[in-house]
Amino acid sequence: MTSSDKPDHVSDAPAGPKGIAAQDWATAAADPQYRAAVVDLLGALAYGELAAFERLAEDAKLAPTLADKAELAKMASAEFHHFERLRDRLAGIGAEPTLAMEPFVAALDGFHKQTAPSDWLEGLVKAYVGDSIASDFYREVAARLDSDTRELVLAVLDDTGHAGFAVEKVRAAIDADPRVGGRLALWARRLMGEALSQSQRVVADRDALSTMLVGGVADGFDLAEVGRMFTRITEAHTKRMSALGLAA
Amino acid sequence: MTSSDKPDHVSDAPAGPKGIAAQDWATAAADPQYRAAVVDLLGALAYGELAAFERLAEDAKLAPTLADKAELAKMASAEFHHFERLRDRLAGIGAEPTLAMEPFVAALDGFHKQTAPSDWLEGLVKAYVGDSIASDFYREVAARLDSDTRELVLAVLDDTGHAGFAVEKVRAAIDADPRVGGRLALWARRLMGEALSQSQRVVADRDALSTMLVGGVADGFDLAEVGRMFTRITEAHTKRMSALGLAA
């Protein structure tokens, strides 16, 4: 729908939102495939937030000070409130939240299992990388959503302060001991690899979602466009890592 | 401090709050020993909430269903918000929150280390027992506090729904398999024993706090009264356990 268009401005720009993006949920949801895709998307995001809550709460145990611990607990709590909003929306559109989340449990749990941080700094890098990739993904997808769903997705993307906190602590640690940078760069690479491999698993499994993500070609989805989306997200990651002082 | 004073009436009730309980924070805090006791108390409660957050988030991993997991994450998040209120109050009265919490880290971490639940039901019983004991303790202490601190303590005691949720799940599990009851009864006994032993450690260490808890005898605190407070809390625990179908 929007794939090759000029960027869609939500404001009063001359070329307003088109297609789905110009519709509200009630209108857009008349298309059962679109509806299924949104239930998938909200289910994936909801479980992502719940898993992020658990990850951050777990990482809080690694915090070197009580203030750091409180900071991570705060982030975890923010993720939980995002989860609540997504779950409530699922219930509000008549979808069973647990059923909507189930298809994404294996991929997200797999990701977290494969990338359990072994210390505080690895945990911070993971929070930062995970959050940034999630933000990029939310933004990619927001443009393809009806106005009501878009509003929700952008609201849960709302900065929870993770990035600034993690960046500051990681930079200080690298300044104090430059060898830390090499180790964390490897770690960030591993995180990105694992994120991509789990995402591809989801894309392969969930047709309606994948079709929407790549712009909704009616007769199937464009694998090349999926690839381009992954490339954009990877490139943004690389830039962030080098800004952090880590060669990605 | 409060023991033999004439009543200071705040309201027009015949027997209103007396002594410290009739004062606001600004008045009560003029006594440095009272001030120190409240900083201790808020520090202990704040770290207790932060530790409870971690414990519940950890237990959420044991949840058999996504809905149960979300329920525990919600409780964890509620504990975190209690922590925030206590920490903000500490900062508001000019105390450094981290310093105020530090003296209680060893006892609370010790408690949680000694009582890591091995499954979902043990986690629920622990959440229930821990919460109930905490509530009993908050109520005991609230009566001895100035009006501003009392209001805060009663607010963070505000039911977060733990009890109802845990009781329902534990009852159902015992109904389904009565042998579960025996195991959980032993577990609850161990929790109570560990809680008492860690509390006694705190009482022995923190003079100002202990003195306030037992009604503020100026020249030291009355060990017999500490014993009676522990007895009241233990008896309430025993009653709750038998209501739950567990012999305590």
Distance CA A47, CA A43 (A): 6
Whether A3 has a pLDDT exceeding 70, the answer reads no
pLDDT at residue A215 tops 50: yes
Give B-chain residues touching A84 at CB under 8 angstroms. Answer: 74
Domains in chain A, number: 1
Higher-scoring residue by pLDDT: B88, A167: B88
Is residue A6, in this structure, part of any structural domain at all? Answer: no
Q: Which of A47, A50, A66 to mutate to test the interface with B (most CBs of B within 10 A)?
A: A66
From A73's Cα to the closest Cα of chain B, the distance in A is: 7
pLDDT tens for residues A148-170? 999 999 988 866 667 788 888 99
Question: Can you give the pLDDT at residue B208?
Answer: 78
Q: How many CB atoms neighbour CB B71 within 10 A?
A: 19
Largest CA distance in chain A: 57
For chain B, say whether A54 makes contact (Cβ under 8 Å). yes
Containing domain of residue A158, as a range? 21-243
Residue of chain A minimizing CA distance to B104: A66
Q: Given an 8 Å threshold on Cβ–Cβ distance, is A57 in contact with B76?
A: yes
Cβ(A25)–Cβ(A146) under 8 Å? yes
Name the pLDDT band for B44 (thresholds 50, 70, 90): very high
**pLDDT value of residue B218:** 44
| Mean pLDDT computed over every residue of chain A | 84
Q: Does A41 touch chain B (CB under 8 A)?
A: no
Interchain contact, A70 vs B76, CB within 8 Å: no
Give me the pLDDT at residue A149, please: 94
The secondary structure of chain A, three-state, reads: CCCCCCCCCCCCCCCCCCHHHHCCHHHHCCCHHHHHHHHHHHHHHHHHHHHHHHHHHHHHCCCCCHHHHHHHHHHHHHHHHHHHHHHHHHHHCCCCHHHHHHHHHHHHHHHHHHCCCCCHHHHHHHHHHHHHHHHHHHHHHHCCCCHHHHHHHHHHCCCCCHHHHHHHHHHHHHHHCCHHHHHHHHHHHHHHHHHHHHHHHHHHHCHHHHHHHCCCCCCCCCHHHHHHHHHHHHHHHHHHHHHCCCCC
User: How far, in Å, CA of A56 to CA of B114, rounded?
Assistant: 23
pTM: 0.80
Does residue A210 lie in a domain region? yes
Q: Could you tell me if residue B80 is inside a domain?
A: yes
**For the purposes of burial, counting CB atoms within 10 Å of the CB of B188, is it exposed (0-12), middle (13-18) or buried (19 or more)?**
buried
Residues from chain B that touch A42, judged by Cβ atoms under 8 A, are none
Predicted pLDDT of residue A187 = 92
Is residue B184 included in any domain, yes or no? yes
CA atoms within 13 A on the CB side of A194: 19
Whether B248 maps to a domain, the answer reads no
- With CB atoms and an 8 Å threshold, state whether B57 touches A76: yes
Contacts of B13 (CB under 8 A, 6+ apart): none
Residue B2, in any domain of the structure: no
Identify the band that residue A50 occupies on the pLDDT scale cut at 50, 70 and 90. Answer: very high
CB contact under 8 A, A70 and B50: yes
Which chain B residue has its CA at the smallest distance from A87's CA? B70
Tens digits of residue pLDDT in A83-96: 999 999 999 999 99
Query: Cβ of A65 and B105 within 8 Å?
Result: no
Q: Which residue of chain B has the CA closest to A43?
A: B66
Using 50, 70 and 90 to split pLDDT, how confident is the model at A104? very high
pLDDT of B103 above 80: yes
Please give the average per-residue pLDDT across A202-211, as a whole number: 78
Better pLDDT: A233 or A221: A233
Determine, yes or no, domain membership for A162: yes
What span, in angstroms and rounded, lies between the C-alpha atoms of B111 and A95?
A: 41
Q: What is the ipTM of this complex?
A: 0.74
- Report the percentage of chain A scoring pLDDT > 70: 86
CATH for A94: 1.20.1260.10
User: A147-156 and A66-92 are packed helices; what angle lies between their axes, rounded to 10 degrees?
Assistant: 170
A149 within domain boundaries: yes
Determine which of A49, A71, A80, A99 to mutate to test the interface with B (most B C-beta atoms within 10 Å).
A80
Contacts of B77 in chain A (CB under 8 A): 53, 76-77, 80-81
